[in-house]
Structure 1
Amino acid sequence: MSACVDVVLPCLDEAAALPGVLAALPRGYRAIVVDNGSRDSSVEVAAAAGAVVVREERRGYGAAVHAGLVAATAEVVAVLDADGSLDPGLLPAAVALLDTADLVLGRRRPVSRAAWPAPQRLSNELLAWRLRRRLGIAVHDVPPFRVFRREPMLGLGLTDRRSGYPLETLVAATRAGWRIAELDVPYRPRIGRSKVSGDLRGAISAVRDMTAQLRAAGA
């Protein structure tokens, strides 16, 4: 597998975390930072570090990821949170699994209780259980760490532009016959305040979006 990989980093007020995340990218991995309305210096920090900066005015995780995917040019694309919770150094191991898989997920393994608050972790486990039990999708996480080939992903025609995007990805990929692999990755406390667990409105929005995708999938 080629070492040239585009890494899409959805970004909303991640100026504190971006320097470390971008510095940790392996050689041959190009950062595409998709700013989704930051009010801090995220754009300036990303540009100064040499990242490609894309602005996506439509708010939503799915909107940011899709904008990055459209901007990417590499055959292989990775998606990673920009908050420092995930190690970019593990990307080559995930990319290597594309020799036998079509979609690689970084299954989060929290390094401490602070890394993944219990309500969010248990909600994720229940979501993954429903995917396994009702749709036969053999996953244990619906994670922000994903690696895949660009053109086939665009071909899935994903439409969710909010928090339901990762779940829609798994459902559409499975229905398209994709082989899905999981790679255990350490999950660290994020740098800064979470847009989901640290904000009631964000948490409610994420639950609503995920639930809508589950209903649409018949789970």
Structure 2
Amino acid sequence: MPFMTDVVLPCLNEAAALPWLLARMPDGYRPILADNGSSDGSPEVARSFGARVVDVPRRGYGAAVHAGLLAADPADGVVCVMDADGSFDPAQLPLLADPVRAGDVDLACGRRRPTTAGAWPPHARLGNAVLARRIRRETGVPVHDIAPMRAARRDALLALGLTDRRFGYPLELLLAAARTGWRITETDVDYRPRASGTRSKVTGTVRGTLRAVADMRAVLAR
């Protein structure tokens, strides 16, 4: 039987981005929309493209990702996570999933490479760079991004026992994986402007970025 890799898509009001995103999902990759209370019809759009939808009443990026991981089929073992806002191209998921499936790495991370000047606002890029530098200094893991697009084995991810349910989740993941001795790699992936008419909950405003940075600093403090 051919493998089927689940792709967890944490989502809050991304109806405008989902048609493009889901239409580009590669063969053998099955989308799971972890919906965080969308009011714009995102779940209905996702279902119309054949995606599985998991309702996540608890707000927060980490809460959505965790619920998606629990819903993923353990049979294949490898699971991907990526934002549902259209900023990443699902066609590039095999770049991350294949090395994990081959057993070459434990956590494959996508390093954002903006396709246009406006795809990654300066305030968000700066915040990411500061956090990545601290991760490199404290763990020795040579990462330059906080892995908003990634692949790993589902059971191993759950075994890390991550507890953050907000925007600190990706940072907690990297720190826990480093402590556990995981083999972590980075691969360049395209980072596109979001779907027209939408704005990121994190990078779209300085306030959103500061809130995410505060969540991540709380993780570092722990």
Q: Would the TM-score normalized by the shorter structure come out above 0.5?
A: yes
- 3-state DSSP of counterpart to 1:26: coil
Structure 1 partner of 2:172: 168
Note the 1:20-169 alignment, pairs <5 A. 20-73=20-73, 74-98=76-100, 99=102, 100-169=104-173
Structure 1 counterpart of 2:219: 213
Worse-matched range after superposition: 146-155 or 127-136: 127-136
Q: How far off is 1:208 after superposition?
A: 1.0
Using the size of structure 1 for normalisation, the TM-score is 0.95
User: Per-residue CA shift, 1:96-134, capped at 9, x if unaligned?
Assistant: 211210000000011122100011001101111111112
SS of residue matched to 1:112: coil
Structure 2: gaps spanning 5 or more residues: none
Distance (Å, rounded) in 1 between the aligned partners of 2:117 and 2:124: 11
Runs of 4+ off more than 6 Å = none
Aligned CA RMSD, in angstroms, stands at 1.2
Count matched residues: 215
8 Å contact from structure 2 (residues 123, 209) kept in 1: no
Write out per-residue CA displacement over residues 148-167 of structure 1, whole angstroms, 9 at most, x where no aligned residue.
00001100000000000000
Change beyond 3 A, Cα 1:167–1:23: same
**Quick check: 2:123–2:206 contact (8 Å CA) kept in 1?**
no
Structure 1 gap segments, 5+ residues each: none
The percentage of counterpart residues that share the same residue type is: 59
The one-letter code of the counterpart of 1:50 is G
- In 2, are the aligned partners of 1:97 and 1:181 still within 8 Å (CA)? no
Q: Alignment partner of 2:127: what SS?
A: helix
The TM-score normalised by the length of structure 2 is 0.94
Q: Which residue identity lines up with residue 178 of structure 1 in the other structure?
A: W
